[in-house]
């Protein structure tokens, strides 16, 4: 299955290169693109360097925008023919602060960090840490995946640097598999209250744990719709229209720049369109 997926993605990369060259030859201008990238834990110094290179390369072609500018662009009637990126980071690992301090702040890029509220400040090897790390990596975390979460000061640092935080549930459970409606409400609502009380801010962004079509269901959308303004999925697409449900592209620092740009240009969007439409119908 993985080989087949790689094969398809390689074909899409080639398709992207051909399309790009044709557009250059015919001097076709780019159309409006509003894409959201998802990164997670950026673990090692090598990964941080690779991430930095990706951002510098994308900066030549894309305008990096803040969560606030993202909202404005989403609602704008006459969209400019430019390409925009909003950076998001899921799970709230310690490396996110390092990325902000060493890279984003220096480039004046404002990102959105999705925090698992019960994960903040949990010491490695504690029961509370183990419970959540196993939810993040359901197949069992590998040794290199046992990174520290951010503490309260790290998150305050992000906020004072002009970044925003959003909610990523209490404990990273797969919401579509929760059988008890009170558990679902607690993951969605208590986590928001915790973040708002601890940091004295209003939270209006939510990102689904896993973010796949299968991890999202009707009940979770119905509850989220009452408490959040923007709900971020993990389905790839261009955010062209005003909607509460947001497309995002999962990427990682090791991804080749051609693959990254191929995703950003929408070469894999086709696979997600139908599923996205079904999820949007859950709002009714
Ligand atoms: Zn997550």
Together in a domain, 17 and 35: no
Residue 106 alpha carbon to ligand 1 centre in Å:
26
Are 141 and 3 found together in one domain? no
Ligand 1 midpoint to CA 94 (Å) = 14
Domain shared by 136 and 122, yes or no: yes
What domain range includes position 149? Answer: 31-281
Q: Find the helix or strand (DSSP H, E) in which 35 lies.
A: strand 33-39
Q: Does the pTM of the predicted model rise above 0.95? A: no
C-alpha of residue 210 to centroid of ligand 1, in Å: 6
- pLDDT for the residue 236: 97
| Residue 95 clears pLDDT 90, i.e. is over it | yes
Read off the CATH number of the domain in which 58 is found: 3.20.20.370
- On average, the pLDDT of the chain sits at 93
- Ligand 1 centroid–CA 139 distance in Å is 14
38 C-alpha to center of ligand 1: Å? 10
Q: How many domains does the chain have?
A: 2
> What integer pLDDT is reported at residue 71 of this predicted model?
96
209 CA from centroid of ligand 1 (Å) = 4
Tell me the per-residue pLDDT of 215-262, one tens digit each, with 9 for 90 and over: 999 999 999 999 999 999 999 999 999 899 999 999 999 999 999 999
- The pLDDT tens digits of the residues spanning 27-83 come to 667 789 999 999 999 989 999 999 999 999 999 999 999 999 999 999 999 999 999
Q: Are residues 160 and 217 in the same domain?
A: yes
Compute, in angstroms, the gap from residue 168 CA to the centroid of ligand 1: 7
Same domain, 109 and 19: no
**Residue 18 CA to ligand 1 centre (angstroms):** 34
Residues 80 and 141 in one domain: yes
Distance (Å, whole) CA 248 – CA 264: 10
- Shared domain for 19 and 112, answered yes or no, is no
Give, in order, the Cα–Cα distances in Å from 58 to each of 38, 55, 75, 90, 135.
14, 5, 24, 20, 32
Q: How far is CA 106 from CA 52, 165, 207, 230, in A?
A: 11, 19, 26, 27
Residues 81 and 160: their CA atoms lie apart, in Å, by 32
If you ran DSSP here, which 8-state letter would residue 149 be given? B
Distance, CA 10 to ligand 1 centroid (Å)?
A: 26
Q: How far is the CA of 278 from the centre of ligand 1 (A)?
A: 22
Separation CA 91–CA 162 (nearest Å): 19
């Amino acid at each position: 299955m993985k080989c087949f997926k790689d094969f398809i993605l390689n074909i899409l990369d080639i398709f992207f290169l051909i399309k790009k060259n044709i557009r250059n030859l015919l001097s076709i201008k780019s159309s409006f693109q509003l894409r959201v990238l998802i990164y997670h834990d950026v673990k090692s110094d090598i990964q941080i360097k690779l991430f930095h290179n990706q951002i510098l390369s994308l900066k030549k072609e894309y305008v990096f925008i803040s969560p606030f500018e993202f909202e404005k662009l989403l609602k704008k009637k006459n969209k400019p023919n430019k390409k925009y990126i909003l950076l998001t980071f899921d799970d709230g690992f310690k490396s996110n602060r390092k990325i902000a301090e060493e890279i984003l702040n220096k480039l004046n890029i404002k990102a959105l960090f999705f925090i698992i509220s019960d994960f903040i400040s949990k010491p490695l090897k504690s029961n509370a840490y183990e419970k959540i790390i196993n939810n993040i990596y359901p197949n069992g975390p590998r040794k290199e995946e046992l990174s520290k979460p951010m503490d309260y000061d790290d998150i305050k640092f992000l906020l004072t640097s002009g970044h925003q935080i959003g909610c990523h549930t209490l404990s990273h459970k797969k919401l579509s598999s929760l059988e008890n409606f009170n558990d679902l409400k607690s993951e969605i609502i208590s986590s928001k209250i915790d973040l708002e009380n601890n940091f004295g801010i209003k939270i209006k962004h939510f990102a689904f744990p896993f973010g796949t079509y299968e991890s999202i269901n009707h009940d979770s959308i119905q509850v989220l719709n009452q408490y959040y303004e923007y709900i971020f999925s993990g389905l790839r697409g261009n955010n062209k229209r005003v909607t509460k449900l947001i497309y995002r592209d999962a990427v990682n620092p090791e991804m080749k720049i051609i693959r990254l740009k191929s995703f950003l240009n929408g070469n894999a969007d086709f696979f997600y369109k139908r599923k996205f439409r079904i999820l949007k119908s859950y709002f009714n």
